[in-house]
Structure 1
Amino acid sequence: MAMGKRAAVVLVGLTVMLSACSQGNGNNGNNSSETTNAGATPAATQSTDKKPVTLKVLVASDWLKEKKWQMIFDDYEQQTGNKLDIQSAPVNSYKDLVNTRLATQDAPDLLFYWSQAGAISQLQPEKNLLDLSNEEFVSRINPAVSKYFLKSNDKLYGIPVTGLSVGGVLYNKKVFSDLGIEIPTTYEEFLAACEKIKAAGITPIYEAGKEGWPLQIFSFDAMANVINKQPDLMDKLNARQVTYDQVPEFVDVLQRQSDLQKSGYVNKDLFSATYDMSLEQVATGKSAMIFQADWAVSPLLEKYPDAQIGMFPLPADGDSYAAISDPNGLYVLKNSKNVDAAKDFLNFFSSQDELTKYFNEVKSIPTWTGLSVDLNPGTSDMNTYVESGKAVPFFNALSVIDIGDYQSILQQLYGGQLSAEGVAKSLQSNIDKGAKAAGIAGF
Structure 2
Amino acid sequence: MKKGLKIVLSILICTMLFSSLVGCGNQSNEKGDKVDKQDNKKEVKTLKITMHASWYGKGWQAVEKDINERTEELGYKLDFDKIAEGEQGTQILQTRAAAGDLPDILCINSLQWIDSDLHCIDKVIDLTDQDWTKNYDDKILKSNYGYNEKILAMPLGGTNFPGIFYNKKVFSDLDIEIPTDWDEFLSACEKIKAAGKVPFYVAGKDSWTVQIFNIAGLQREYKGKDISKEYIDLMTNKTNIVDYDKLKDSYAKLKELKDKGYIQENWLSDNYEGQQKAIVDGTAGMTCNATWMMEEIQKSYPDKVDDVGGFSPVFDGDDPIGAWIPNAMLGFNTSKNIDEVKDFLNYFGSIETQTLYFNAQPAIPIAKGIEVKGLSGASQDIYNEFLNPDRGQTIWQSVPMPEGVEYVALGDFPEYSINVLLGERTPEETLQDIREFMEKDAKTKGVKGW
TM-score using structure 1 length: 0.80
**Structure 1 segment 127-206 matched on structure 2, within 5 A:** 127-141=122-136, 146=141, 149-152=144-147, 155-206=150-201
What is the distance in 2 between the residues matched to 1:166 and 1:72?
Answer: 24
What is the distance in 2 between the residues matched to 1:104 and 1:412?
Answer: 33
- Distance change (3 Å), C-alpha of 1:205 and 1:329: same
- Distance change (3 Å), C-alpha of 1:143 and 1:421: farther
- Distance change (3 Å), C-alpha of 1:319 and 1:115: same
Letter in 1 for 2:437: N
Partner residue of 1:406?
A: 413
Cα pair 1:215 1:407 within 8 Å, conserved: yes
Quote the offset at 1:436 in angstroms: 2.2
Quote the offset at 1:126 in angstroms: 3.7
Partner residue of 1:242?
A: 239
Quote the offset at 1:76 in angstroms: 4.1
Letter in 1 for 2:278: Q
What is the distance in 2 between the residues matched to 1:253 and 1:119?
Answer: 30
Letter in 2 for 1:377: G
Quote the offset at 1:427 in angstroms: 1.6
Does residue 91 of structure 2 align to residue 84 of structure 1? no
Partner residue of 1:346?
A: 345
SS at match of 2:289: strand
What is the distance in 1 between the residues matched to 2:296 and 2:344?
Answer: 28
Gaps of 5+ in 2: 1-38, 401-406
- Distance change (3 Å), C-alpha of 1:210 and 1:196: same
Quote the offset at 1:118 in angstroms: 3.3
Does residue 436 of structure 2 align to residue 429 of structure 1? yes
What is the distance in 1 between the residues matched to 2:239 and 2:55?
Answer: 38
Aligned partner of 2:256 among 249, 255, 259: 259
Cα pair 2:322 2:392 within 8 Å, conserved: yes
Cα pair 2:159 2:323 within 8 Å, conserved: yes
**Structure 1 segment 309-324 matched on structure 2, within 5 A:** 309-324=308-323
Does residue 393 of structure 2 align to residue 392 of structure 1? yes
Quote the offset at 1:173 in angstroms: 0.8
Quote the offset at 1:220 in angstroms: 1.5
Does residue 333 of structure 2 align to residue 334 of structure 1? yes
Letter in 2 for 1:252: D
Cα pair 1:165 1:294 within 8 Å, conserved: yes
Deviations 1:227-259 (A, max 9, x none): 233323312211111222122222122222222
Quote the offset at 1:55 in angstroms: 5.0
Does residue 304 of structure 2 align to residue 306 of structure 1? yes
Does residue 282 of structure 2 align to residue 268 of structure 1? no
Quote the offset at 1:300 in angstroms: 2.6
Deviations 1:308-341 (A, max 9, x none): 1011001243423333335332112134444343
Aligned partner of 1:215 among 197, 210, 219: 210
Letter in 2 for 1:372: E
SS at match of 2:237: coil
What is the distance in 1 between the residues matched to 2:422 and 2:91?
Answer: 30
Cα pair 2:420 2:426 within 8 Å, conserved: yes
Quote the offset at 1:104 in angstroms: 4.3
Q: CA RMSD in A?
A: 2.9
Cα pair 2:45 2:340 within 8 Å, conserved: no
Gaps of 5+ in 1: 1-47
- Distance change (3 Å), C-alpha of 1:303 and 1:76: closer
Deviations 1:27-46 (A, max 9, x none): xxxxxxxxxxxxxxxxxxxx
Cα pair 2:76 2:340 within 8 Å, conserved: no
- Distance change (3 Å), C-alpha of 1:422 and 1:235: same
Letter in 2 for 1:437: T
- Distance change (3 Å), C-alpha of 1:193 and 1:113: same
Which has the larger displacement, 212-221 or 379-388?
379-388
SS at match of 1:409: helix
- Distance change (3 Å), C-alpha of 1:144 and 1:174: farther
Partner residue of 2:446?
A: 439
Letter in 1 for 2:180: T
Structure holding more helix per residue: 2
Quote the offset at 1:145 in angstroms: 5.7
Quote the offset at 1:103 in angstroms: 4.2
Indicate the structure (1 or 2) with the bigger Cα radius of gyration: 2
Quote the offset at 1:435 in angstroms: 2.5
Cα pair 2:142 2:150 within 8 Å, conserved: no
- Distance change (3 Å), C-alpha of 1:172 and 1:148: farther
What is the distance in 1 between the residues matched to 2:152 and 2:111?
Answer: 11
